[in-house]
Amino acid sequence: MTGAILVTGAGGCIGAWVVARLAREGAGVVAFDLTDDRRRLRLALDDRAVAAVSWIKGDVTDVAALEAAIAAHGVEAIIHLAALQIPFCKADPLAGARVNVVGQTAVFEAARRASLLHVVYASSVAALGIKDPAAHPTTLYGVFKRADEGIAHVYWQDWQVPSIGLRPHTVYGPGRDQGLTSAPTKAMVAAVAGVPFTIPFSGPLAFQFVDEVAEAFVRCARADVAGAHVHDLQGEATDVEAIVAAIRRHRPDAKLAIDGPSLPVPAAFDDRALRRLVGDWGAVPLEEGVGRAMTAFADLVARGLVTP
């Protein structure tokens, strides 16, 4: 694949790291986001590299805008990450449905019209039932993401638009400042800044360093596949207590607490089938990922780019 990759939701956490990874490689990348807010991208790239990224302000539900971006930049693949997360979907269900469901449909329709053969999108573990993956999701966000997987299935069934959907779990690292499971990352920032922080949930989770997640999305975007695939991202299955312990190994004086029940999402996955499909990528163990994140946050907090 020699053409550019269009990244929707480029201003978000995973989006910023995907754009940064592609930019560092010298690959053609086009950022597409509702705003021109590049603050998360600046956590992963220097100012000169940020300024060099082609950035389009556009609404992901606007098929014409997506088509125009694809045509103008010679786009051959889409990594679709634009979404509203759990608290925002609950606060404004109509906006959540518009961005997460209408936006998914618009992206696939633009891909169909442009005959693109590489479409990757973010689903979520929230699309799964807690004990039975086939059971109903427990949040509107999860319902919308389950619908997104169905949209991808139908676009392959009816128009042969191939796709891979990835279900990240608890992503952590620079830029992860929104969403229910951003609390462990906020705890890292608080520890570096020397301020107290309470993580409002406990129990088992699968933690995934943001750059590893970005690498998985990029690898999927470059894979030649047929069908509508959906895969979990494994991460490291552990618990909230373990990540707090890892933070304290770097900052023994961290003023952190855990106060809340476990989250209503499954925590153990197997992504070996995905790795067989698109090729392997480097897993980042929790200890290494927390170390990289804490080192980055020490620099970012000192420079005033991140605040607790």
96-108: pLDDT as tens digits: 999 999 999 999 9
- In eight-state DSSP terms, residue 15 is H
Q: How confident is the model at residue 179 (pLDDT cuts 50, 70, 90)?
A: confident
- Which residue bears the tokens 């229910």? 180
Q: What does the pLDDT read at residue 50?
A: 95
Least confident of 13-22, 34-43, 71-80, 267-276: 267-276
Count other C-beta atoms under 10 Å from residue 307's C-beta: 10
What is the C-alpha separation between 96 and 105, in angstroms, rounded?
14
CA distance 47 to 51: 6
The mean pLDDT of the chain is 94
Put the strands of the sheet holding 4-8 in their side by side order. 54-57, 29-33, 4-8, 75-80, 119-122, 163-167, 228-232
Instruction: Identify whether the C-beta of residue 84 lies closer than 8 Å to the C-beta of residue 141.
Output: yes
- From the list 181, 308, 192, 175, the residue with the least C-alpha distance to 239 is 181
Q: Using only C-alpha atoms, what is the Rg of the chain?
A: 18
pLDDT score at 259: 94
Across residues 70-84, what is the average pLDDT? 97
Rounded Cα gap, residues 249 and 107, in angstroms = 43
Contact 7, 30 (CB under 8 A): yes
Class of domain 4-169+207-235+267-283: alpha beta
2 or 277, which is more confident: 277
- Model pLDDT, residue 91: 95
What is the pLDDT, as a whole number, of residue 54? 96
> Is residue 94 pLDDT above 80, yes or no?
yes
pLDDT one-digit tens code per residue, 16-34: 999 999 999 999 999 999 9
Q: 64: left (phi > 0), else alpha (psi -120 to 50), else beta?
A: alpha
Contact (CB, 8 A) for 114 and 71: yes
| pLDDT at 235 exceeding the cut of 90 | no
* DSSP 8-state class, residue 125: G
> pLDDT by residue (tens digit) across 127-178?
887 667 777 888 999 999 999 999 999 999 999 999 999 999 899 999 999 8
- Is 248 a residue whose pLDDT tops 90? yes
277, amino acid identity: L
**Residue 306 dihedral angles phi and psi, to the nearest 5°:** -135, 135
Average pLDDT for 231-249: 93
The confidence score (pLDDT) of residue 105 equals 98
Judge whether 128 and 112 are in contact, CB under 8 Å.
no
Are 186 and 143 spatial neighbours (Cβ–Cβ below 8 Å)? no
pTM: 0.94
